Amino acid sequence: MTRVATLLRYRGREGMLAWAFHRISGIGIFAFVVLHVIDIYLVGGNPELYDEVLAFYASIPGRLLEVVLGAALLYHALNGLRIIIIDLWPAMTVYHRALWWISWAIFIIVGVPGALIILRPVWLPLLQQLGLA
Amino acid sequence: MGASDRPRVDVSPVSRGRMRPRGARRELVIWYLMRVTGVALFVLALAHFSILHFIWDPAEQTAAFVANERWNQVFWRGFDWLLLMTVLFHGFLGVRTVVHDYVHRPRWRTGLLWALYVTGAFLFVIGTQVILTLPVPGAEGASIR
């Protein structure tokens, strides 16, 4: 527990969280990229197996994982842009906290509709059952 | 404590990411490469994810779909290969940084870095191979319908 507390205290606030999320999302995306290059190889190497993998991508658990992947990708992309802006334009350092909140605003505005599109097979049948769609 | 006697840290107080390295030229090149490939991936990776989740749905995607709707055009083969190149550089150099941060025993570090580079080279080979060799639909010898 001490270790977790120390981890959370280290430098602290937005800057440290931005860094930690960036690293965690980066490692997650890396793991998916390794899987994804192997699965796309199957298009030529073993099309039947590829179709089975894609059937998982289209399933509900697959879609939930894709929403997590998309969130990691979007966060990493936006925070990466924030890092590059501060690197190339050091005067922006003063506003690094504002940039962090702007990146979260874009994350929500873009990410929520995106997640809803991917999760359509989850919520659409529910709406139909309720007679709303 | 003055700025000069503060211990040198790699992560800046405002978390601008890794500070621009001083001294080692190779580290500086990698630092720039991470940023250049990062900007490229902002466009390439987000476009790729959006096209295959928002324009097309995963439920319509099969090997035949890839052959007939995506890689039937040289543009998308080139796009995906460029994405593969940038993601391999960015992802593998990124994990290299993570290994440098957390793995301090020389043998472990060297071993892990070698495993990392071998994996990267392997993905480069199989990814490039499938993009280059998947038959164009309708071409002689095309095997996917």
Tokens of B80: 């995906």
Which residues 80-119 on chain A approach chain B with CB closer than 8 angstroms? 80-81, 83-84, 86-87, 93, 96, 114, 117-118
User: Does residue A3 lie in a domain region?
Assistant: no
Count structural domains, chain A. 1
Domain ranges of chain B: 25-133
User: Does residue A7 lie in a domain region?
Assistant: no
Chain B residues whose beta carbon lies within 8 Å of the beta carbon of residue A22? 17
pLDDT tens profile A35-91? 999 999 999 999 999 999 999 999 999 999 999 999 999 999 999 999 999 888 888
- The answer to whether B132 contacts chain A (CB < 8 Å) is no
Q: Is the ipTM of this complex over 0.90?
A: no
Chain A residues whose beta carbon lies within 8 Å of the beta carbon of residue B49? 69-70, 73
Of A30, A43, A120, the CB nearest to B95: A30
pLDDT tens profile B56-107? 999 999 999 999 999 999 999 999 999 999 999 999 999 999 999 899 999 9
User: Does residue A120 lie in a domain region?
Assistant: yes
Q: What share of chain A is helix, strand, coil (3-state, %, to 5)?
A: 90, 0, 10
Using DSSP's 3-state secondary structure scheme, residue B11 falls into strand
Chain B residues whose beta carbon lies within 8 Å of the beta carbon of residue A19? 11, 15, 17
- The answer to whether B141 contacts chain A (CB < 8 Å) is no
- CATH code for position A90: 1.20.1300.10
* Cβ(A86)–Cβ(A35) below 8 Å: no
- Bridge partners, residue B18, by sequence: B11
* Cβ(A18)–Cβ(A7) below 8 Å: no
Topology of the domain comprising B25-133: 3 helical TM bundles of succinate and fumarate reductases (1.20.1300)
* Cross-chain residue pair B45–A73, CB shorter than 8 Å: yes
Cα B143 → chain centroid = 30
- For residue A52, CA distances in Å to A77, B12, B73 come to 30, 46, 24
Structural domain boundaries, residue A101: 14-129
